[in-house]
Amino acid sequence: MDKKVIATEKAPKPIGPYSVAVQAGNFVFTSGQLGLDPATGNLVPGGIEAQTRQALKNLGNVLSDAGSGLEFAVKTIVFMKDMAEFSKMNAVYAEFFSENPPARSTVQAELPKGGAVEIEVIAILK
C-alpha cells in the first residue's frame, strides 16, 4: 500500500515532526487540528466555539487538498481541555456534520498552546 504525505498552505503548519495528513490507500488520516488561525499560528479568540469552528475549517481544507472532504469523514476524535464545555463544542460540531455524521470519540486532555479543543479525522477519498 502506498503512503502519501499531504501538505497544504490552507491550514496551520505542523509544530513538530509530523505530517498534517497522510493518505494510505483510499483513506486520509489527519493529525489533530487546534483552533489555530493558519495566517498567524495563534488560537482564534472566542473560546471553545470559535476554536471548534476553526479546527473543523482547517480540517476541511486539509481534506480538500488531499482529495476528500468533511462529508467523507468516517471517524473523528475530539480532544477537549474541559468536558464541561462539551455541549458548546457539540453544537458547533453539529453545524459541520448535520447529516450522516461520522463515528466519534471525545476525550479530555491537556492540549498544546493551551487550546480548548483539538480534532482529528479519518476520511475516505472522493
Contact 121, 21 (CB under 8 A): no
CA distances from 9 to 6, 18, 59 (A): 11, 15, 12
Structure-block grid coordinates of residue 49: 466555539
**The domain 3-124: what is its CATH number?**
3.30.1330.40
Q: pLDDT band at 15, cuts 50/70/90?
A: confident
Contact 60, 92 (CB under 8 A): no
As a whole number, mean pLDDT of residues 53-60 equals 98
Contact 44, 116 (CB under 8 A): no
Residue 1 has pLDDT above 90, yes or no: no
Structure-block grid coordinates of residue 84: 464541561
Across the chain, mean pLDDT equals 96
Residues in the chain: 126
What is the C-alpha separation between 87 and 53, in angstroms, rounded? 14
- pTM for the full predicted model: 0.96
Domain definitions of the chain by residue range? 3-124
As a whole number, mean pLDDT of residues 19-43 equals 96
Q: Which of 37, 39, 84, 42 is nearest to 57 (CA)?
A: 37
Q: Which of 24, 120, 124 is nearest to 72 (CA)?
A: 124
Q: DSSP code of 125?
A: -
